[in-house]
């Protein structure tokens, strides 16, 4: 059997064609074991630069490097074999020019083997999205609350809460879709506007803190597993792993300190 026949990973055209069809299930993933566990249930895994905060305890995403994204991208690719894997372009690696964006994005694709990249920004990034897409790099766009702009936004604020903000956000969505983005993340956008944008563009919108009307949804895996001590208001927790980990650590510490465990546990026997 040829290598081609063994590949069963979903494709970018499949994601694009899910517009007005079945909802696109997306989660973030940063490491191999969790990627392997969730891979069968999702269409798309995003190696988000939120890993700066979640995995490395950074204050925001601005300190995340290309090398760090590549390291985690490789780990996720080793764990997941059916989902489309998208790797975030970190701050400072794509904004300057389409050429620099291509150099860095092609490095991400070469070194991780991922399917696509994601970058933040609306109309101002349209030229870059077009440049990358035309040269074989599928791009997922990200508009609305864009965390890499936290300093200029003055915090993580929901966008489009007043109708006078709507035209600019609608223009952002149109511009990235027309430039060739295969899907658009709508983050932290007021519900009626996110629904309206979804009806206006012909590529899938992927909501996070946006609207159930979006063509798909994404959550940070650790948030929905209950590992984040202060998740955003819109996050639904589907498990309580934070409490489970604390309970397991407590039980383990008790057992070790009491030395009351059977000899076969935590030990190796001598060979007979």
246 among annotated binding-site residues = no
Burial 169-208 (b: 16+ CB within 10 A, else e): bbebbbbbbebbbbbbbbbbbbbebbbbbbeebebbbbbb
Residue 187 binds to ligand KIV (criterion: CB under 6 A): yes
Residues 216 to 235 in contact with ligand KIV, rule: CB under 6 A: 218, 220
List alpha helices for 113-201, DSSP H.
Answer: 126-134, 150-153, 166-179, 191-200
Annotation marks residue 187 as catalytic:
yes
Residues 72 to 101 in contact with ligand KIV, rule: CB under 6 A: 88
- Between helices 98-112 and 126-134, what is the axis angle to 10°? 50
List alpha helices for 39-123, DSSP H.
Answer: 51-54, 66-79, 98-112
Residues 106 to 135 in contact with ligand KIV, rule: CB under 6 A: none
Residue found under tokens 């383990």: 252
CB closer to ligand KIV out of 59 and 164: 59
Q: Which of 18, 28, 112, 211 binds ligand KIV (CB under 6 A)?
A: 28
CB closer to ligand KIV out of 193 and 221: 221
CB closer to ligand KIV out of 126 and 208: 208
Q: Give catalytic residue positions.
A: 187
Interface residues toward ligand KIV, by CB under 6 A: 28, 46, 48-50, 88, 142, 185, 187, 208, 218, 220
């Amino acid at each position: 059997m040829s290598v081609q026949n063994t590949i069963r990973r979903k494709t970018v055209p499949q994601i694009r064609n899910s517009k007005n069809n079945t909802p696109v299930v997306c989660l973030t993933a940063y490491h191999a074991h969790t990627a392997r566990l969730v891979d069968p249930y999702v269409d798309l895994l995003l190696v988000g630069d939120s890993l700066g905060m979640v995995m490395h305890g950074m204050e925001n995403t601005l300190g995340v490097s290309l090398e760090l994204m590549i390291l985690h991208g490789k780990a996720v690719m080793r764990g997941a074999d059916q989902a489309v894997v998208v790797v975030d372009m970190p701050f400072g690696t794509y904004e300057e020019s389409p050429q620099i964006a291509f150099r860095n994005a092609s490095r991400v694709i070469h070194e991780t083997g991922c399917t696509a990249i994601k970058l933040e920004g609306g109309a101002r990034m349209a030229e870059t999205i077009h440049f990358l897409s035309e040269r074989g790099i599928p791009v997922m766009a990200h508009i609305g609350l864009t965390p890499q702009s936290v300093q200029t936004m003055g915090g993580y604020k929901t966008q489009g809460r007043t109708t006078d903000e709507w035209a600019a956000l609608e223009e952002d969505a149109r511009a990235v879709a027309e430039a060739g983005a295969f899907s658009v993340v709508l983050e932290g956008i007021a519900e009626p506007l996110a629904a309206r944008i979804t009806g206006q563009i012909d590529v899938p919108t992927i909501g996070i803190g946006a609207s159930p009307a979006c063509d798909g949804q994404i959550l940070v895996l650790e948030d929905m597993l209950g590992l984040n001590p202060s998740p955003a208001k819109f996050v639904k927790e589907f498990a309580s792993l934070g409490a489970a980990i604390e309970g397991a650590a407590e039980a383990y510490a008790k057992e070790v300190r009491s030395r009351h465990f059977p000899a076969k546990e935590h030990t190796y026997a001598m060979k007979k």
